[in-house]
Amino acid sequence: MTDVRILGTGAYVPDRVVSNDEAAAAAGVDDAWVTVKTAIRERRWAADDQATSDLAAAAGRAALASAGITADQLSVIVVATSTPDRPQPPTASYVQQKLGAAGAAAFDINAVCSGLVFALSAVEGILARRGGHALVIGADLYSRILNPADRRTVILFGDGAGAMVLSMAGHDGAEQDGARRGPRIRHVALHTFGDNSGLIEVPGGGSRLPLDQAGLDAGLQYFTMDGRGVRSFVSDNLPQLTKEFLHEAGVVPDDIRHFVPHQANGVMLDSVFADLGLPLATMHWTLGEYANTGAASIAITLDAAARAGAFSPGDLILLAGFGGGMSVGFALVEW
């Protein structure tokens, strides 16, 4: 078992605040409808001159400051995103340049809204081999791929980035005193259910269906989601997968004190949380003000809770991501 620690967290959201009425105007619904359906009140959308790498770099700087290290101490940067700056090169290469982390290997992971947990798992293996410090960032800029007339999607998403600095205990200056090494990632598990990959997608723009003018006219560049199908998938699978994960991690449901899920939809989260059987856990939300920020949402929410002093030493925190693919990822963190 590895001993990967979280040395610091950080987050960034754009300045522009977008109300429900503004986001939903072209879709023919209003603030009351959005609030009842999702518990989302507002979201942040990026400025015209911002790309995903800009948000990711800002969150990365905040995490580095929290960890007390500099970018030149990083050995790897992983950006989890499904809205890259460009199809090529990886968005992480732009982040490396913006941070001045010339010595770090940099690459992207796309597991949509589960991407942050998938990235944590990948970095855990890398640090076990080479040590050093890693920067893991979840970042998405969904406002660029939303159909403004589609009420099923345009109301749900915001833009943002969240980050963590990770280190293998005992490597590259990591503190030996357990109280100072930071929260420990105790266990990670990943799942993909490819038979359900059609529930969430952007149809055009890849090698299967390159975009031409006909595709643009048909709206194939936009994010699409079968909302009922996604809700059924989460309701049907997350409770059992959570139970299996806790068993694998060697803990029982009563041990969990905090639940930090992907911030998909507040109404759905309330319903699913009731079925998870975590009687002593507090569920943490940021979706009311930031909406669904894709791969960023877990890291943004973890950072907000940490900075608010919500966690005590020894608390067990369950991170749960779920999204396109369909993908599901869990991480157990001991604060």
Catalytic machinery residues: 113, 262, 292
Q: And the tokens for 266? A: 């507040």
Q: How far apart are the first and last CA of the chain?
A: 17
Q: And the tokens for 151? A: 């009420």
Sequence letter at residue 216:
L
- The DSSP string of 170-183 is TSTT--SSHHHH--
Give the helix/strand (H/E) hosting 16.
strand 16-19
Q: Where are the beta strands (DSSP E) in 211-297?
A: 224-225, 256-261, 282-283
Tell me the C-alpha distance between 6 and 293, whole Å: 21
Tell me the C-alpha distance between 39 and 270, whole Å: 10
Q: And the tokens for 158? A: 């915001």
Cβ–Cβ under 8 Å, residues 86 and 52: no
Q: Are strands 16-19 and 74-80 parallel, antiparallel or unpaired?
A: unpaired
**How many Cβ atoms are within 10 Å of 156's Cβ, its own excluded?**
25
Tell me the C-alpha distance between 58 and 147, whole Å: 27
